[in-house]
């Protein structure tokens, strides 16, 4: 028997926005609307409206930022909401956090919703840190006594003990963000809405923030709606994802499938990337490929599989001391590994006659843990950098079993370590 405990239910949510500026047209439309309403008719402007595609040219004055969104959230679930810029994620969150109301449809909820749309809302620069903890906490829906019991924890978490009785206007922007996040992190709503807060603070604080978020969602069994562009964080935190595209819900289900779906649709990772040649004066990269064991182009590998990175280079002038480099980073911008060719290639690279040069690198026993990774490449002549492409392509790694007697190696089992390597154990 499956008991489904639905805590939040969205039924055909749509949101219409008016394009252009508010001017005299607004008042005539308003009057028109009002005239329809007093006669008991439907709003005439709900029938028009273009789909939400930023680059398209439309004739209509109205646009649907969200169109017929339906989904349910179970208690204790961490739902990731992903989509490109302008897909409607923020609009959805705004409706969920009751900042604005939907044009049609309704959302029913069984719990209190609190949002971390952007931290630090309502900080008053003249008040001290402590006073702002109370004010901000109350704005986010806490009562005074609730804040009082958590005051010390909040201060400790923010790491601003020394400045807590100083007006916030004297704080550095980093400190302000830390304090704001700390207040929000100690909220205890039934449903927490989080939007991109991971992008704040220094690396150390980001780690702390992600850790706290994991505690909230995993440890306390809180229901969380999480919006992010950081696929690694989505992979880590979420139990289910939905994808928004032009204001419509196009995917609802498994996290890995969702991320794959999203990445492949956004042509970020097709397994190759062609670069435009700017001129024929400077040497440049012309194409980059990622190949698996079977020599197929793919953006998806299993951990430990040999990955062949192939770079094609258009050489316009002889490169005397060529040095190539390739770096793999994760989505938190941590560099995992960097290879340089200077120990391997010493021959000058002559000006090419009729075809591009091909440089390949094949990984050997590289056990990246499951997740999404980015690639950067660079090329130098002696000491001068000729060209660099930073994080221009992404690939995904799935968990694997290095051999029969091994368990499947996953990031979760490795408690979020960066990589895995095979080692020899001795027990005496």
Partner 1 sequence: MKTTTNDSWLYTISSKRKLIDFNFKEIWRYRDLLLLFVKRDIVTVYKQTILGPLWYLIQPLFTSIIFTLVFNNLGNIQTGGIDPFLFNLAGITAWNYFRECLNKTSSTFTSNKAIFGKVYFPRVIMPLSITISNLLKFVIQLIIFLVFLCYFWYQGMDISFNPKLFLFPVYVIMMALLGLGLGMIISSMTTKYRDLTILVGFAVQLLMYVSAVPYPVSEAKAKFPEKVAILVEYNPLTQIIEGFRFMLLNTGTFTWFGFIYTFVLSIVLFLIGLVIFNRTEKSFIDTV
Confirm if 77 and 158 have CB atoms less than 8 A apart. Answer: no
Which CB, 101 or 338, lies closer to partner 1? 101
Which CB, 141 or 271, lies closer to partner 1? 141
* Closest approach of partner 1 to the CB of residue 103, in Å: 6
Each residue 122-141 as x (binds partner 1 by CB under 8 A) or -, in order, gives x-x-xx---x--xx--xxxx
Nearest to 260 by CA among 403, 82, 79, 125: 82
Region of 360 (left: φ > 0; alpha: ψ -120 to 50; beta: rest) is beta
Size of the site for partner 1 (CB under 8 A): 50
The rounded distance, in Å, linking the Cα atoms of 55 and 63 is 13
- Per CB under 8 A, the list member of 63, 66, 78, 117 interacting with partner 1 is 117
Confirm if 344 and 373 have CB atoms less than 8 A apart. Answer: no
Which CB, 193 or 397, lies closer to partner 1? 193
Which CB, 38 or 278, lies closer to partner 1? 38
- Helices 144-158, 173-185: crossing angle, 10 deg rounding: 130
Assess 31 for contact with partner 1 (CB under 8 A).
no
Q: How far is CA 193 from CA 15, 189, 249, in A?
A: 19, 10, 18
* Closest approach of partner 1 to the CB of residue 127, in Å: 7
Stretch that binds partner 1, among 104-112, 242-250, 399-407, 412-420 (CB under 8 A): 104-112
Confirm if 104 and 46 have CB atoms less than 8 A apart. Answer: yes
- Per CB under 8 A, the list member of 66, 69, 82, 95 interacting with partner 1 is 95
Stretch that binds partner 1, among 113-121, 235-243, 302-310, 402-410 (CB under 8 A): 113-121
- Per CB under 8 A, the list member of 143, 295, 353, 415 interacting with partner 1 is 143
The rounded distance, in Å, linking the Cα atoms of 332 and 314 is 32
Which CB, 132 or 269, lies closer to partner 1? 132
Each residue 212-241 as x (binds partner 1 by CB under 8 A) or -, in order, gives ------------------------------
**Eight-class DSSP state of 159:** T
Q: What are phi and psi of 259, to 5 degrees?
A: -65, -45
Nearest to 117 by CA among 180, 160, 74: 180
- Per CB under 8 A, the list member of 66, 73, 78, 96 interacting with partner 1 is 96
Q: Which residues contact 281 (CB under 8 A, 6 or more apart)?
A: 316, 317
Stretch that binds partner 1, among 24-32, 55-63, 293-301, 385-393 (CB under 8 A): 24-32
Assess 357 for contact with partner 1 (CB under 8 A).
no
Assess 383 for contact with partner 1 (CB under 8 A).
no
> Helix, strand or coil for residue 394?
strand
- Per CB under 8 A, the list member of 51, 76, 104, 340 interacting with partner 1 is 104
Assess 47 for contact with partner 1 (CB under 8 A).
no
Q: What pairing do the DSSP bridges indicate for beta strands 62-74 and 6-18?
A: antiparallel
Assess 21 for contact with partner 1 (CB under 8 A).
no
Q: How far is CA 230 from CA 159, 195, 263, 330, 331, in A?
A: 25, 11, 12, 10, 6
Assess 150 for contact with partner 1 (CB under 8 A).
no
Positions touching partner 1 (CB under 8 A) are 1-4, 6, 17-18, 22, 26-27, 30, 94-115, 117-118, 121-122, 124, 126-127, 131, 134-135, 138-144
């Amino acid at each position: 028997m499956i008991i489904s405990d639905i805590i939040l239910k969205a039924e055909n949510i749509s949101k219409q926005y008016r394009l252009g500026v508010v001017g005299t047209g607004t008042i005539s439309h308003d009057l028109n609307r009002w005239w329809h309403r007093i006669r008991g008719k439907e709003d005439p402007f709900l029938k028009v409206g273009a789909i939400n595609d930023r680059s398209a040219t439309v004739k209509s004055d109205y646009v649907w930022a969200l169109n017929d969104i339906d989904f349910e959230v179970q208690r204790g679930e961490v739902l990731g909401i992903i989509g490109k810029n302008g897909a409607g994620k923020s609009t959805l969150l705004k409706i969920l956090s009751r900042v604005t109301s939907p044009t049609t449809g309704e959302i029913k909820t069984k719990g209190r919703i609190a949002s971390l749309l952007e931290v630090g809302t309502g900080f008053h620069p003249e008040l001290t840190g402590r006073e702002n903890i109370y004010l901000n906490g109350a704005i986010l829906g806490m009562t005074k006594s609730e804040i009082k019991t958590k005051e010390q924890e909040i201060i400790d978490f923010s790491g601003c003990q020394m400045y807590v009785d100083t007006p916030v206007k004297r704080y550095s922007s980093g400190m302000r963000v830390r304090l704001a996040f700390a207040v929000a992190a100690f909220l205890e709503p039934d449903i927490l809405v989080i939007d991109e807060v991971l992008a704040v603070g220094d690396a150390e604080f980001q780690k702390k923030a992600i850790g706290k978020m994991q505690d909230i969602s995993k440890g306390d069994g809180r229901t969380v709606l999480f919006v992010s562009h950081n696929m690694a964080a989505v992979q880590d935190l979420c139990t289910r994802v939905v994808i928004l595209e032009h204001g419509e819900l196009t995917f609802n289900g498994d996290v890995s499938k969702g991320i794959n779906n999203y990445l492949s649709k956004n042509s970020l990772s097709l397994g190759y990337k062609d670069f435009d040649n700017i001129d024929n004066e400077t040497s440049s990269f012309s194409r980059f490929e990622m190949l698996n064991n079977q020599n197929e182009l793919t953006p998806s590998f299993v951990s430990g599989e040999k990955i062949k990175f192939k770079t094609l280079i258009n050489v316009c002038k002889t490169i005397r001391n060529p040095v190539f480099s390739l770096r793999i980073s994760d989505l938190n911008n941590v560099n995992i590994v960097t290879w340089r060719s200077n120990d391997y290639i010493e021959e000058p690279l002559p000006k090419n006659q009729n075809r591009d040069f091909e440089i390949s690198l094949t990984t050997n026993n590289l056990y990246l843990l499951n997740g999404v990774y980015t690639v950067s490449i660079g090329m130098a002549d002696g000491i001068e950098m000729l060209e660099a492409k930073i994080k221009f392509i992404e690939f995904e790694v799935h968990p694997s079993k290095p051999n029969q007697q091994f368990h499947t190696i996953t990031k979760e089992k490795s408690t979020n370590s960066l990589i895995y390597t095979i080692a020899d154990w001795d027990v005496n």
